Amino acid sequence: AQRVTQPEKLLSVFKGAPVELKCNYSYSGSPELFWYVQYSRQRLQLLLRHISRESIKGFTADLNKGETSFHLKKPFAQEEDSAMYYCARQIQGAQKLVFGQGTRLTINP
């Protein structure tokens, strides 16, 4: 089965500190990986995807095939980054997404 694991349900850091949200996936072929974010009272939205290799809102994520990881990082956390973050893997040839359990990130002032 294709699994996505986010080991931390809760993560709390201070404003200005670096943040890393962990994501590991079960190895199977060439994964298509995403990070989705859900801010309070807003719909789930795409934050970034590994093939674009871009930085969104200061966040980056690098695919490490050796460690089967796709950790999300930001060097300096902002209060507006407080949200629920989901790592997801798209099933090849489909639109189906397999989500991790999510990590609730809280940025303390």
Partner 1 sequence: KAGVTQTPRYLIKTRGQQVTLSCSPISGHRSVSWYQQTPGQGLQFLFEYFSETQRNKGNFPGRFSGRQFSNSRSEMNVSTLELGDSALYLCASSFAVGGGEAFFGQGTRLTVV
Distances (CA, A) of 3 to 58, 94, 106: 27, 16, 25
Q: Select from 29, 30, 67, 94 the one that contacts partner 1 (CB under 8 A).
A: 94
Nearer to partner 1, 33 or 77 (CB): 33
Return all residues near 53 (Cβ < 8 A) that are at least 6 apart. none
Q: Select from 8, 32, 50, 60 the one that contacts partner 1 (CB under 8 A).
A: 32
Spell out a b/e string for 16-43, using b for 16 or more CB atoms within 10 Å of the CB, else e.
eeebebbbbbeeeeebebbbbbbeeeee
70 binds partner 1 (CB under 8 A): no
Q: Select from 74, 102, 105, 107 the one that contacts partner 1 (CB under 8 A).
A: 102
| Nearest-approach distance from CB 2 to partner 1, in angstroms | 11
| Nearest-approach distance from CB 78 to partner 1, in angstroms | 23
Closest CA to 77 of 12, 9, 8: 12
46 binds partner 1 (CB under 8 A): yes
User: Interface residues with partner 1 (CB under 8 A)?
Assistant: 32, 43-46, 49, 86, 88, 90-102
